[in-house]
């Protein structure tokens, strides 16, 4: 029998409250609404000299920094095919067909995603997490990030080395 090891982080503090809207079925655009998103992450890999897959503290602090940056913000996609997001020094103007929203710039986070689905938020958060941990010398063999929109509906992204 073979062993493998994982570290799983699922803490209440990885909750962020944010607004968004997505499109689906082509050109149906949701009304703006919010979620109390909850993020969890699972790392798989060999044990290091500390017998860690990844240091709980390093992973926790990195994930906390990422989720804090999304908390109380309007999440906007910068590579959506039909939602245009244009920022100037003060404001972000968003247009979709004949609809238009203007937000204070500081209230927004512009994300390099094509739609702010839970799946693509998980992808964005995982990329940020891997980059942050790489700077600290951790390179897990596998990472799974889940973003839960409303207690039971999760989008999951998985990275395999």
Ligand X SMILES: Nc1nc2c(c(=O)[nH]1)N=C([C@H](O)[C@H](O)COP(=O)(O)OP(=O)(O)OP(=O)(O)O)CN2
Q: Does 78 bind ligand X (CB under 6 A)?
A: no
Nearer to ligand X, 91 or 119 (CB): 119
Among 9, 18, 22, 143, binds ligand X (CB under 6 A): 22
Distance of alpha carbon 89 from alpha carbon 50, whole angstroms: 47
Distance of alpha carbon 147 from alpha carbon 10, whole angstroms: 11
Sorted by sequence, the CB contacts under 8 Å of residue 106 that are 6+ apart come out as none
For 122, the enclosing helix (H) or strand (E) is helix 118-135
Q: Does 117 bind ligand X (CB under 6 A)?
A: yes
Nearest distance from residue 77's CB to ligand X, in Å?
12
Nearest distance from residue 153's CB to ligand X, in Å?
6
Distance of alpha carbon 63 from alpha carbon 65, whole angstroms: 5
- Tokens describing residue 111: 């994300």
Nearer to ligand X, 32 or 131 (CB): 32
Burial class for 161, CB neighbours closer than 10 Å (0-12, 13-18, 19+): exposed
Among 15, 119, 132, 142, binds ligand X (CB under 6 A): 119
Q: Does 149 bind ligand X (CB under 6 A)?
A: yes
Q: Does 17 bind ligand X (CB under 6 A)?
A: no
Interface with ligand X by CB under 6 A: which residues? 22, 30, 35, 117-119, 149-150, 153, 155
């Amino acid at each position: 029998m073979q062993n493998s090891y994982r570290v799983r982080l699922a803490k209440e503090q990885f909750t962020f409250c944010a607004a968004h809207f997505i499109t689906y079925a082509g050109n149906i655009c949701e009304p703006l609404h919010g979620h109390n998103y909850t993020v969890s992450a699972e790392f798989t890999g060999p044990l290091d000299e500390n017998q860690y897959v990844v240091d709980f503290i390093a992973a926790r602090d990195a994930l906390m920094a990422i989720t804090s940056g999304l908390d109380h913000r309007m999440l906007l996609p910068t590579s959506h095919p039909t939602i245009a997001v244009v920022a100037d020094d003060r404001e972000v103007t968003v247009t979709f067909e004949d609809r238009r929203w203007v937000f204070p710039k500081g209230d927004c986070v512009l994300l390099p995603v094509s739609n702010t689905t839970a799946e693509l938020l998980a992808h964005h958060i995982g990329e940020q997490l891997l980059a942050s941990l790489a700077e600290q010398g951790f390179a897990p063999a596998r990472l799974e990030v889940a973003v839960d929109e409303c207690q039971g509906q999760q989008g999951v992204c998985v990275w395999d080395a």
